[in-house]
Each structure stands twice: as C-alpha cells, then as structure tokens.
C-alpha cells in the first residue's frame, strides 16, 4: 500500500500534471532569429580607444559584448515597450499562467522575463552574434526582432558620432594648445633678439671671427712695418711710437673680440649662442608638433564623416513556420525520467527504514 502511494505521489501525479499542462494549457511560443556581425572600417587616424569615453575598447569581441549588453538592457526593453507595448503582449490573459507576466509585475520582474524571451549569444570562433525573440505570435516576434536590429544599428551610429565628436574636440584643443605654445616661443625668441640686439648668434659669432681675422692681419702688417722701420729710424722716432701705439691698440681690440666669444668683458657670445640655440630648438620642436597635430586634425575631420563600425545583418529576422516552444516532448520525457528517479530513491529509503525498523 505504501509503495503504491509513493508511486502515485512521486511519479503518477507529477507526470500527469506536467503532461496535461504541456498538452492542453501551455501557450505556444514562436521564435524569430537573426545573425549579425559587427564590421570595422579601419581609420586613417589609427585605432581610437573607447576608454577615452569611459567605454570598453572596440576589439571584435568587445564590440559584440557591448551590443549584447545593450540589446538585453532595460533601455532596449523600454524602447520595445514604447514601440510594441511588449508588457501587454507577455501579460495577456490568453497566455498560460506560468508563461505570462503578472499584471502587477515590477520593473525588475519585467526585465527578468524580458531576458528570458529575448536572447543574444556570441560565437567567439565565428565572430557572429545570434539574436532570438520568443513571442506568442510569430509575426510579433519577427517585428520585435526587426526593431531590435534597427535600434542596435542606431546605437552603433551614436557611438560612431560620439567618438568622432570626442576626437574632434580633443585634437582641436591640442591644436589650440600647440598654437599657444608656438606663439609663446616665438615671442621669447623675438624678445631675446631685441634684448641682445642680435638677429642670429651664428651671424654675430661669424662677424666677430671675421673682425678678429681682419685685426690679426692688420696687426701682422703693423708688426712687419715696425720691424722694417726700426732698421732705418731711431728709437725716439714719432713714426715708431705711432706704430707701437697702433699695434698695442690692435692687440687690445683683438683681446676684446676674443673675450666676447669666450666670455669676458662685453657680451658673452658663447652663452648667448647656447641660450639662442635652446630657444630655437624649442621653437622648431613646437613647430613640428603643431604641424603634426594640425595634420591629424584634418584627418580626423575627414574620418568624422565616415562610419567606423557597422552592424551587418547576415540573416534577416525569420518568420517561424511552427511553434518551437515549449518543447513538449522533451519536457514530458524529462519529467518521466526525473519522477522515476525520485520514485526509485523514495522506494529504497522506505525499504531501508523498514529493514531497520
């Protein structure tokens, strides 16, 4: 008697209940599927990191995961609610109790049901995203999936536009900064030239070298002339004294010019040249950086008019020919097997209890 009760409770009742529900009560669900891939158009500016916007970098896998998260998000659910009133569809009284959404369901419960009927899977090897929508009307499922694809494409376009705007804003700011730095260095160079009254320290140094050369040549001539006149004139001759005065003056002048080069009395040309070269090098680097940034900005402006990412629909949303859910036969067989296992376990437990009773 106990064995019959156990069999009835653990096997007959569950199997009969599940079978009756699946065959006579459960509402048919139709599924629409679509396969998509995310294609990337290589940018001439180079790959741009979406972390700049607080978003993940757009590698192939990350693209897919971003799209999947968006499709399964509340934003997409609310969009479909506005377009198709999906809450009314899934809470319809025509739908069986276990499959439908409760009329007073919370936003969280609605989203949980949404993620059960709207799915997105990513195949890492094939790099494709498979989207599926289950609904209680096959046309409704197909229309919902079409709206999802359209909204996902708009989402990618929005990301493209946002990245383009951020790129433009970033490089425009860079150009302004580079231009400001360039003007500052030009002003420093001009101030240096005006303060030291030199156009170029190289020209100044060349002039000094030329002057020293000319003075040394003249000094040599005067020394030669002095040696020649000493042979025919007396030491007290006014001519010899004049020549000696000129030679002494030339020597002092040469020393002054050399001091200007090495640093002594007068302006230190070596220091001036070092300062001048430092300012000029900074100006050259700033000019090169400004030109490079300006060139990049022009490229970014061209790229801004192009789409960097595309949502390509490989297979359009399908229209179900017949109901795929619930999987009645699979559920009934699974219930039979599970119930049978429970019955066997309970029978063994009862037998063990009796044996030790």
Q: What is the pLDDT of residue 269?
A: 59
Any bridge partners for residue 309, and if so which? Answer: 40
Omega of the bond leading into 326 within 30 degrees of 0 (cis):
yes
Query: What percentage of the chain reaches a pLDDT higher than 70?
Result: 79
Q: Which are the contacts of 14, defined by CB distance < 8 A and separation ≥ 6?
A: 335, 338, 339, 342
Using DSSP bridges, classify how beta strands 118-123 and 309-315 pair: parallel, antiparallel or unpaired: unpaired
| Amino acid 307: pLDDT | 56
Beta bridge pairs of residue 119: 132
Q: Which of 87, 78, 37 is nearest to 313 (CA)?
A: 37
Which tens digit of pLDDT belongs to each residue from 249-295? 877 777 776 665 554 444 555 666 677 777 778 888 888 888 888 88
CA distance 316 to 149: 9
Sheet order of strands, 118-123 included: 118-123, 128-135, 30-40, 309-315
Quote the CA–CA distance of 43 and 304 in Å, as a whole number.
10
- pTM value? 0.60
pLDDT at 137 (0 to 100): 93
Taking 70 as the pLDDT cut, the residues of the chain under it are 1-2, 40-60, 193-194, 196-209, 226, 234, 257-273, 300-308, 357
CA distances from 227 to 214, 218, 231, 295 (A): 20, 14, 7, 69
């Amino acid at each position: 008697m106990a064995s019959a009760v156990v069999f009835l409770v653990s096997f007959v009742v569950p199997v009969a209940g599940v079978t009756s529900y699946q065959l006579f009560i459960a509402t048919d669900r139709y599924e629409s599927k679509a396969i998509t891939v995310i294609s990337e158009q290589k940018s001439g500016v180079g790959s741009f990191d979406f972390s700049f916007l607080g978003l993940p970098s757009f590698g192939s896998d990350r693209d897919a995961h971003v799209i999947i998260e968006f499709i399964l998000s509340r934003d997409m659910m609310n969009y479909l609610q506005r377009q198709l009133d999906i809450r009314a569809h899934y809470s319809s009284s025509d739908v069986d109790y276990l499959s439908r959404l409760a009329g007073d369901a919370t936003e969280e419960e609605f989203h949980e049901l949404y993620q059960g009927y709207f799915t997105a899977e990513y195949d890492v090897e094939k790099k494709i995203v498979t989207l599926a929508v289950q609904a209680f009307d096959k046309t409704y499922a197909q229309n919902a999936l079409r709206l999802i694809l359209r909204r996902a494409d708009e989402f990618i376009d929005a990301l493209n536009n946002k990245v383009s705007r951020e790129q433009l804003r970033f490089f425009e700011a860079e150009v302004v900064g580079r231009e400001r730095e360039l003007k500052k260095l030009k002003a420093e160079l001009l101030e240096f030239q005006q303060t030291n009254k030199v156009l170029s320290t190289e020209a100044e140094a060349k002039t000094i070298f030329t002057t020293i050369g000319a003075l040394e040549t003249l000094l040599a001539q005067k020394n030669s002339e002095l040696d020649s006149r000493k042979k025919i004139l007396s030491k007290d001759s006014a001519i010899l004294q004049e020549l000696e005065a000129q030679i002494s003056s030339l020597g002092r002048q040469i020393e002054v010019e050399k001091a200007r080069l090495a640093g002594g009395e007068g302006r230190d040309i070596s220091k001036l040249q070092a300062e001048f070269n430092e300012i000029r090098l900074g100006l050259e680097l700033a000019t090169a950086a400004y030109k490079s940034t300006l060139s990049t900005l022009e490229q970014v402006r061209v790229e801004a008019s192009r789409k960097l990412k595309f949502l390509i629909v490989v297979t359009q949303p399908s229209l179900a020919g017949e109901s795929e859910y619930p999987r009645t036969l699979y559920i009934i067989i699974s219930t039979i097997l599970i119930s049978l296992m429970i019955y066997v376990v309970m029978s063994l437990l009862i037998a063990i209890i009796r044996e030790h009773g």
